[in-house]
């Protein structure tokens, strides 16, 4: 059985790091993993998507429409853009953050986007990740907050401890501390919302 996660956002938000950390944590749990990335110019503030697929056989690196078990969106327009990749039973974890592309005229509003995402996906969790990241010590740690939220969702075979393990291995010093805190804050927030829903 192959499971998959789509991470979507804007180039520069740290999506590649998320894919790498997820991949490493899943390998530690004994899965075969493929992480599909996009490099190069598209990373310059463009729309970026990262695929993480895993299972007991080596998966392909692309997630197709209707396949993903979870969509982690770091920005609302980009979350809406990739929601079609989600399986009908999948979950969306969206950073409640709107970054309009520069110089674009017609932009859907925040509420309109959230509504559209909710229409397309049954299960949507909104996280104020920027705020939580700041609380953890750096606005750059939004990606870690969202990783923590993913761990809480139960959509991947990973717990908070698995992710903390790889984060601590990869980052040292203050960055490591901030990232670990952000991970926990994201985890707790998603857990709280899921409990309220249930």
Partner 1 sequence: MARAAISGDSGTRKLLLGNEAIARGAVEAGISAAAAYPGTPSTEILEALAEVAEEYGVYVEWSTNEKVALEVGIGVSMMGLRALVAMKHVGLNVASDPLMSLGYTGVVGGLVVVSADDPNAHSSQNEQDNRYYGLHSYIPVFEPSGVQEAKDMTRELFQLSEEHRTAVILRTTTRLSHSRGEVMFGAVERVHREPVFHRDPERWALLPPYSLRKHREVLERIRTLEEKLGEWPFNRFVEGDGDTLIVSAGFAHAYVREALDWLKVNPPLLKLASTYPLPRALAKRALEFRKIVVVEELEPFVEDQLRAFAQREGSSAEIHGKDLFPRVGELNTALVASGLSKALGVSFDPPRGNAAGVELPPRPPTLCPGCGHRSTYYAVKLAAARARVKPVWANDIGCYTLGFFPPFRMADFTWSMGSALGIGMGIARFSKDPVVAFIGDSTFYHAGIPGLINAVYNQYPIVVVVMDNGVTAMTGHQPHPGSGYGPTGEKRPAIPVENLARACGVEFVEVVPAYEVARLRDAVERAIKYAREKNAPAVVVARQFCALEELRMKRMRGEAVVPYVIDQAKCVKCGICVDQFSCPAIVRENGSIKILTELCAGCGVCASICPAKAIGPLSG
Nearest distance, CB of residue 106 and partner 1, angstroms: 6
**Of 31 and 187, which CB lies nearer to partner 1 in the complex structure?**
31
Nearest distance, CB of residue 89 and partner 1, angstroms: 11
Nearest distance, CB of residue 95 and partner 1, angstroms: 13
Binding site for partner 1 (CB under 8 A): 2, 10-12, 19-20, 23-24, 27, 32-47, 57-62, 64-68, 77-78, 80-81, 83-88, 99-108, 112-113, 116-117, 119-121, 139, 170-171
Nearest distance, CB of residue 153 and partner 1, angstroms: 18
The tally of CA atoms less than 13 A away on the side-chain side of residue 69 is 16
**Of 93 and 191, which CB lies nearer to partner 1 in the complex structure?**
93
**Of 135 and 170, which CB lies nearer to partner 1 in the complex structure?**
170
Q: Coil, strand, or helix at residue 37?
A: coil
**CA angle at 88 for the pair 84 and 93, rounded to the nearest 5°:** 70
Per residue, the 3-state secondary structure of 82-109, as one string, reads HHHHEEEEEEEEEECCCCCCCCCCCCCC
**What Rg do the C-alpha atoms of the chain give, in angstroms?**
15
**Of 178 and 191, which CB lies nearer to partner 1 in the complex structure?**
178
Q: Residue 91 to residues 57, 72, 107, 143: CA-CA distances in angstroms?
A: 24, 9, 25, 17
């Amino acid at each position: 059985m192959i499971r998959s996660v789509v991470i979507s956002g804007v180039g520069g938000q740290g999506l590649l790091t998320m894919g790498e950390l997820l991949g490493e944590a899943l390998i530690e749990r004994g899965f075969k993993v493929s992480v599909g990335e996009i490099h190069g110019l598209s990373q310059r503030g463009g729309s970026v998507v990262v695929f993480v697929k895993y299972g007991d056989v080596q998966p392909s690196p692309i997630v197709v429409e209707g396949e993903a078990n979870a969509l982690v969106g770091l920005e609302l327009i980009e979350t809406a853009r990739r929601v079609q990749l989600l399986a009908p039973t999948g979950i969306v974890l969206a950073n409640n953050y709107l970054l309009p592309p520069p110089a674009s005229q017609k932009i859907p509003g925040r509420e309109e986007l959230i509504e559209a995402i909710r229409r397309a996906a049954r299960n949507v969790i909104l996280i104020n990740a920027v705020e939580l990241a700041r609380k953890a010590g750096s606005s750059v740690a939004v990606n870690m907050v969202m990783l923590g939220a993913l761990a809480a969702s139960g959509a991947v075979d990973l717990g908070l401890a698995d992710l903390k393990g790889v984060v601590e291995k990869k980052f040292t010093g203050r960055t490591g501390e901030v990232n670990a805190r952000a991970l926990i804050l994201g985890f707790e927030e998603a857990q709280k919302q899921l409990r309220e829903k249930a």
